Structure 1
Amino acid sequence: MIQNSYRKCRSFYHTLKFYWKVNWIKTLYFNFKKFPFATAKKLPVFFYGKVKFTSIYGEIQLDGKIQKGMIGFGQPYELNTVHKGIAEINILGKLIFKGKFQFGKDCFVFVGEHAVCELGNMASLASSGKIICTEKIVLGEYARFGSESQIIDTNFHDLIDTQTGEKLKKSAPITIGNYNFMSNRVSVLKGTQTPNFCTVASNSLCTKDYTSLGENILIGGVPAKLIRSNISRDWSGEKQQLDDFLTI
């Protein structure tokens, strides 16, 4: 009886502690501003800690079953526990969630006007990550990025060939395959494509199409190149743990 009471108290404490971390003002405002009432009342998007809404003018699309907290922005799922308070979202184009998605603490998300950013089910971007989408970015299912990683589909500035005068393409779509594991501080730049079951080493720079290398590969370096074939994160072993741990 005492043990049962202790478990109930402990469960209540952890639930209370969790909901204390939610930024309820931003959570309620965002959901009821961006979704029909029937969707908004389920609170599919949770915000944690301080976050700046530079703009949420663009379209937010939720595909699949709508669940409470299926999208977590600033979600406390990592080892670090403190927010710097610099999280910011600026959505002018279209942001599509294909299911559950987790943003870590202090992330920056920009989707430009006419741009489309599609985020796969159970994909994630860890703390201090950055997504800048001016044309198109697609992350597959379980495409998971470590802390301080950045996904940017543009050069920001026009470049020219000084011999021919040709203006080089400023932006190009990015497509990340299913079950990709990107370690910390990975930079993914315009035109990058990765196959399914691709692992990218820390501090790597991805700049091209890697799909011809096949699946179950490890790439890394600056710029990234093939390091090893026939290797993958143990997705089957971790999948249930991820589902349980990241579901509210």
Structure 2
Amino acid sequence: MFYVGFGQVGIFDKTYERTVLQINGVVELDGKVYLGQGCRLSVANNAVVHFGKSFVNTAAMTLVCSNSVFFGEDCTVAWNTLIMDTDWHQTIDVVNNKVKPCSKPIHVGCRTWIGTRAIVLKGAHIPDGCIIGAGAIITQKFDKENACIVGNPARIAKENITMQRKN
């Protein structure tokens, strides 16, 4: 059910691209999960990462969870991606002394594709069927399904589009 370090991605050298698993919290699996070579998965105490069935990461994904990260079914995550639900440091509004949380849950819907070098940060919500463009930085909640989300700041570039999947 949980395949780690699988595959042969030509541009990654298995000698130097090490996989690191640091799991102190909970990892939930709804089905087969494939984490490619050079993956780094860190799940803190009391944190939960949920992988829906048929999750695939090509290679070198870094996933840091101190709160909650949820992936729906049939998600594809390309190489050199960063998914992190925390920035590890609380901030304070100096006008009203309100402390802002350093972590917020991440939700990635079903049938999503996160492109290479994309960054998904705390509080992000990606609806079902979305494509996250290469290098995009997702820091907010999106509501539109089957959209192509690109850039920094992230924006919807195209609607009514999704990744074609093989049977």
Partner of 1:177: 109
Unmatched 5+ residue regions in structure 2?
none
Any idea what SS the aligned residue of 1:74 has?
strand
Any idea what SS the aligned residue of 2:156 has?
strand
Partner of 1:126: 58
Distance 2:89 2:98 in 1: 14
Identity %: 25
Partner of 2:151: 221
Structure 1 residues 103-162: Cα deviation after superposition (integer angstroms, max 9, x where no partner): 111111011001111011111223111110101000111111110001100011111112
Of the three residues 219, 225, 230, the one matched with 2:160 is 230
TM-score (norm 1): 0.64
Greater percentage in strand: 2
Q: After the TM superposition, which segments of 4 or more aligned residues of structure 1 sit over 6 Å from their partners? A: none
Partner of 1:101: 33
1:80 CA drift (Å): 3.6
Work out whether residues 2 and 33 of structure 2, in 8 Å CA contact, stay in contact via their aligned partners in 1.
yes
Any idea what SS the aligned residue of 1:141 has?
coil
Distance 2:137 2:60 in 1: 17
Partner of 1:71: 2
Greater percentage in helix: 1
- AA partner of residue 115 (structure 2): S
Q: What are the residue-to-residue correspondences of 1:237-248 with 2, within 5 Å?
A: 238=166, 240=167
Work out whether residues 17 and 60 of structure 2, in 8 Å CA contact, stay in contact via their aligned partners in 1.
no
Count of equivalent residues: 166
Unmatched 5+ residue regions in structure 1?
1-69, 241-248
1:85 CA drift (Å): 4.2
Higher relative contact order (CA 8 A, sep 6+): 2
1:230 CA drift (Å): 1.1
Partner of 1:18: none
TM-score (norm 2): 0.94
Partner of 1:145: 77
CA RMSD of aligned residues (A): 1.3
